[in-house]
Amino acid sequence: MNKEQSGVLKAWEATVRKTHAAKKRANSIFGTITMANATDDDLENNNDKSDNISGEPYLVEKILPNGDYYTGQWYDNFPEGQGKYLWTDGCMYLGEWHRGKTMGKGRFSWPSGATYEGEFKSGYIDGIGIYTGPSGDTYKGQWVMNFKHGHGIRFYPNGDWYDGEWRRGLQEGLGKYQWQNENHYIGEWKNGMICGTGTFVWSNENKYDGQWEDGMPKGNGTYYWSDGSFYVGNWSKDPDEQNGTYYPSESSQAANLEWDPQTVYIELADCKICPSENVSIMPSQKVLAWYSAKTDDNPRRLSIDGRVSVGIERPDKMHMWESDDDSTDLTEVRRDLDSELLCVQVQHQHDDTNPKFNLELPLKVPQLGKRPGETISRGHKNYELMLNLQLGIRHSVGRPAPATSLDLKAAAFDPKEKIWTRFPAEGSKYTPPHQSCEFKWKDYCPVVFRALRKLFKVDPADYMISICGNGALRELSSPGKSGSFFYLTEDDRYMIKTMKKSEVKVFIRMLFAYYNHVRSFENTLVIKYYGLHCVKLTGPIQRKVRFIIMGNLLRSEYTIHRRFDLKGSSLGRITDKPESEIDSTTILKDLDLNFIFKLEKAWFEEFCWQIDRDCEFLEQERTMDYSLLVGIHFKEISANGEFVPCGRRSSSGNYENESTPPDMEEHFLDPKRWGTIKLGANMPAKVERTIRKPKSVFHLVGEQTGECYEVIMFFGIIDILQDYDITKRLEHAYKSIQYDPTSISAVDPKQYSKRFRDFIFKVFCEDT
């Protein structure tokens, strides 16, 4: 026997041992499964077939290459119908399948003893079902994409229970929670906390009825005793803010007169809400053998916003250091508009070699663009500015300050609320010595931005490390259309944008409304701002640079394959790059869009509701020219670099599988990171391809083709600080002479808001 035959024999023996072990483990732990009537001969004959001639599912029993075990109905290389899948770690699913994914009714069990029995959709727990934890705790109710979402009842191991509304796995809406000691609360919830209006009833029949915040009384409320007396007032954990009046009943006890409202907070501190269970892994996160991951030859990189590719490239004009003069140069406005109008006349020709116009052409993975930006090192023209910025941020964030409260006084938003700090090169009592020139540093409304960073859960130390750490900032290659410059932190977490004085005035004017909006709507899509500052050079020039720090919406461990900047207007809304030059960092525009975005029902409803709230806010603040920045990661990529539509088969007869790099596998399998899915970030969704016909190349929405792709989506509203000022009014008037006024980006804020919403609700829809 030669070495090759010996190797084959050993491999066969190993497979046999693995097969018997898996069968024994499956039958001993979970028992046998009953399927449609079939003889052993039929099963054996069907196992020998690579395809089923009759076109109907047939029974198989498979030991899969990774040691997993499947038995049940099979069709076209996938489970189809009833089947049982046993993973090597002891997890098991028994129920309905469709195209290799759990779909319909089924039962999933964990090695810990936990079980879920109910409805599944595309691999997710989705629909009505019952989850029983290893400690005997249960949840019965509605689910959406692995989250408790809708109405449900949860019984906890310690005897507590909750009956009410859920949202993304947490109590939100109306609900009742009862503790084992028979205390109970009926009312409003938010993010798993008692928040809003509600009533808490103690087992001794005393009760509090009123406003709540973060699980404690906050605001107007009334405390009732069982004897009929009551206390009415304004409630707060701070005794200085607490005030009210006691009203005794005829039979009340004198002891109530000495009662301290702060004792309510002490009593409520013992009434804790049971935390959500930590499920080790969800069914949709389990790797199925027929969806084996392919490695990605490209090195992992973080995606960044790349906003500089939006618009037409312009000469590198040094607008960074500017005077306080904000007067409008009408000649320059007209020159820029003429340039843009000239570009519109020659772009967007129908081209059959472009997949945007030709359905026969597959969608290919764009080239990975170079990491945008030039590292600012010694010798760079803006090296000293970077040092000044980092010194100022370190001073502002690291400066000792009292504990930040989210309840801010009106004075904190006063435009005059700013702090100037002088930074001499030799250092001072409050500032360190440095290698840059002397400068002054201004903090606008520091208390407000400190509260915003707390509201957005930004750790001060991490914030300083990102901006002021050893890594240098990167300056994007050219200014955007507005003339502003952009900088990125080394970890791509934050973007820094230079601002004109007029933009600063707009933001300070709307800061109070912005703060209240992002505080009221946790899932707002409006971009997050973390700081507003100014650097002023000392000396005869007295030049200033103002800048704002904001979050990078498209920072992700996924590769962002497509980026779109969407406004709902058509004039000039197309990239000036040919298809061959578009890479993964190119920002495409409205007329480049060749997709409809499909969100699961619950997400779509929340998306529409939030877009309405955000646009109402921007309309009230009289801003316009904002856009929805969208990033798409395609989950399924073929070996030849094409995006694979849902359900399309390769030439070998197998369905194309998701090209998932190792780090993405970890993302799916880590429950903590799974919880990062939220509106606008890490959202599983689908996109349907659209085609632009010759007669409709300027239509904002192309014709739907039915060709869908599974994706991960990121999106948010950016550029919200443009006022409808004289420049924008001139732009509107000048363009209206030659073009349809409704196609122009610069329009009245009310009209802009309506057009933006109408367009967004056309390109986003519910996945039915």
pLDDT in tens, 360-381: 677 888 877 777 777 887 878 8
**Length of the chain as a residue count:** 768
Greater model confidence, 253 or 46: 253
Q: Given pLDDT bands bounded at 50, 70 and 90, which one contains residue 307?
A: very low
Q: State how far the Cα of 303 lies from the Cα of 296, in Å rounded to an integer.
A: 16
Q: State how far the Cα of 49 lies from the Cα of 403, in Å rounded to an integer.
A: 71
Say if residue 151's pLDDT is above 50: yes
Tell me if 154 sits within 8 A of 139, measured CB to CB: yes
- On the 0-12 / 13-18 / 19+ scale of CB atoms within 10 A, 617 is buried
- On the 0-12 / 13-18 / 19+ scale of CB atoms within 10 A, 702 is buried
Question: What DSSP string describes 380-424?
Answer: STTHHHHHHHHHHHHHHHHS--PPPPSS--GGGG-TT-EEEEEE-
Say if residue 163's pLDDT is above 60: yes
Tell me if 631 sits within 8 A of 715, measured CB to CB: yes
Q: State how far the Cα of 185 lies from the Cα of 221, in Å rounded to an integer.
A: 14
Say if residue 29's pLDDT is above 50: no
Out of 3.40.50.1820, 3.30.810.10, 3.30.479.10, 1.20.1730.10, the CATH code matching 559-644+676-767 is 3.30.810.10
Q: State how far the Cα of 724 lies from the Cα of 733, in Å rounded to an integer.
A: 13
Tell me if 441 sits within 8 A of 533, measured CB to CB: yes
Tell me if 477 sits within 8 A of 372, measured CB to CB: yes
- Residues 6+ away with beta carbon under 8 Å from 11: none
- Average pLDDT on 163-191 reads 89
- Residues 6+ away with beta carbon under 8 Å from 761: 608, 611
- The class of domain 366-552 in CATH terms is alpha beta
Q: Given pLDDT bands bounded at 50, 70 and 90, which one contains residue 300?
A: very low
Comparing 281-290, 573-582, 732-741, the range with the smallest average pLDDT is: 732-741
Beta bridge partners of 685: 711
Q: State how far the Cα of 673 lies from the Cα of 666, in Å rounded to an integer.
A: 9
Comparing 47-61, 328-342, 502-516, 560-574, the range with the smallest average pLDDT is: 328-342
Beta bridge partners of 658: 636
Say if residue 599's pLDDT is above 90: yes
Q: Given pLDDT bands bounded at 50, 70 and 90, which one contains residue 609?
A: very high
Report the Cα 47 to chain-centroid distance in Å: 45
- Average pLDDT on 73-87 reads 88
**Helix, strand or coil, per DSSP, at residue 322:** strand
Per-residue confidence (pLDDT) for residue 608, from 0 to 100: 93
Q: State how far the Cα of 473 lies from the Cα of 466, in Å rounded to an integer.
A: 9
- Average pLDDT on 160-173 reads 88
Per-residue confidence (pLDDT) for residue 23, from 0 to 100: 44
Greater model confidence, 522 or 429: 522
Tell me if 392 sits within 8 A of 384, measured CB to CB: no
Per-residue confidence (pLDDT) for residue 607, from 0 to 100: 94
Tell me if 302 sits within 8 A of 552, measured CB to CB: no
- What's the chain's average pLDDT? 77
DSSP secondary-structure letter at 366? P
Question: What DSSP string describes 426-463?
Answer: T--SSS---SS--EEEEEESHHHHHHHHHHTT--HHHH
- On the 0-12 / 13-18 / 19+ scale of CB atoms within 10 A, 53 is exposed
Say if residue 560's pLDDT is above 60: yes
Q: Given pLDDT bands bounded at 50, 70 and 90, which one contains residue 26?
A: very low
Greater model confidence, 439 or 347: 439
Beta bridge partners of 75: 78
Q: Given pLDDT bands bounded at 50, 70 and 90, which one contains residue 25?
A: very low
Per-residue confidence (pLDDT) for residue 575, from 0 to 100: 80
* Architecture field, domain 58-250: Sandwich (2.60)
Greater model confidence, 23 or 277: 277
Please write down the HEC assignment for all residues of 648-711: CECCCCCECCECCCHHHHHHHHCHHHHCCCECCECEEEEEEEEECCHHHCCCCCCEEEEEEEEE
pLDDT above 90 covers a percentage of the chain that reads: 21
Say if residue 317's pLDDT is above 70: no
Per-residue confidence (pLDDT) for residue 757, from 0 to 100: 92
Tell me if 642 sits within 8 A of 567, measured CB to CB: no
pLDDT, tens digit (0-9, with 9 covering 90-100), for 202-248: 888 889 999 988 888 988 898 888 888 888 888 888 888 888 888 88
Q: Given pLDDT bands bounded at 50, 70 and 90, which one contains residue 630?
A: very high
Place of tokens 């000293």: 384
Beta strand 115-121 with 147-155 is: unpaired
Q: Indicate the Cα dihedral angle 584, 586, 587, 592, nearest 10°.
A: -90
Per-residue confidence (pLDDT) for residue 312, from 0 to 100: 32
Could you tell me which of 550, 741, 556, 720 has the C-alpha nearest to residue 632? 556
Q: State how far the Cα of 556 lies from the Cα of 558, in Å rounded to an integer.
A: 5
Per-residue confidence (pLDDT) for residue 542, from 0 to 100: 65
Say if residue 431's pLDDT is above 90: no
Greater model confidence, 746 or 197: 197
Instruction: Copy the structure tokens of residue 279.
Output: 């499920």
Q: State how far the Cα of 486 lies from the Cα of 499, in Å rounded to an integer.
A: 10
Could you tell me which of 553, 546, 380, 392 has the C-alpha nearest to residue 468? 392
Per-residue confidence (pLDDT) for residue 664, from 0 to 100: 43
Tell me if 126 sits within 8 A of 144, measured CB to CB: yes
Say if residue 626's pLDDT is above 80: yes
Same fold, 58-250 and 559-644+676-767: no
Ranges of each domain in the chain: 58-250, 366-552, 559-644+676-767
Which amino acid appears at position 98 of this protein? H
Q: State how far the Cα of 82 lies from the Cα of 94, in Å rounded to an integer.
A: 8
Per-residue confidence (pLDDT) for residue 714, from 0 to 100: 94
Comparing 189-198, 272-281, 511-520, the range with the smallest average pLDDT is: 272-281
Say if residue 553's pLDDT is above 80: yes
Instruction: Copy the structure tokens of residue 337.
Output: 């508009």
Tell me if 614 sits within 8 A of 626, measured CB to CB: no
Say if residue 663's pLDDT is above 60: no
Q: Given pLDDT bands bounded at 50, 70 and 90, which one contains residue 188?
A: very high
Q: State how far the Cα of 700 lies from the Cα of 567, in Å rounded to an integer.
A: 10
Per-residue confidence (pLDDT) for residue 62, from 0 to 100: 85
Which amino acid appears at position 101 of this protein? K
- Average pLDDT on 1-18 reads 51
- Residues 6+ away with beta carbon under 8 Å from 564: 587, 588, 589, 590, 592, 593, 628, 629, 630, 632
Say if residue 6's pLDDT is above 80: no
- Average pLDDT on 685-689 reads 92
- Average pLDDT on 672-687 reads 79
Q: State how far the Cα of 518 lies from the Cα of 526, in Å rounded to an integer.
A: 8
Tell me if 458 sits within 8 A of 467, measured CB to CB: no
DSSP secondary-structure letter at 6? H
pLDDT, tens digit (0-9, with 9 covering 90-100), for 707-741: 899 999 999 999 898 877 666 666 656 665 556 66
Q: State how far the Cα of 166 lies from the Cα of 157, in Å rounded to an integer.
A: 19
Per-residue confidence (pLDDT) for residue 236, from 0 to 100: 87
* Residue 39 CA: distances (Å) to CA of 35, 43, 57, 61: 11, 6, 15, 13
> What's the sign of the alpha-carbon dihedral 426, 427, 433, 437?
negative
- Average pLDDT on 167-188 reads 89
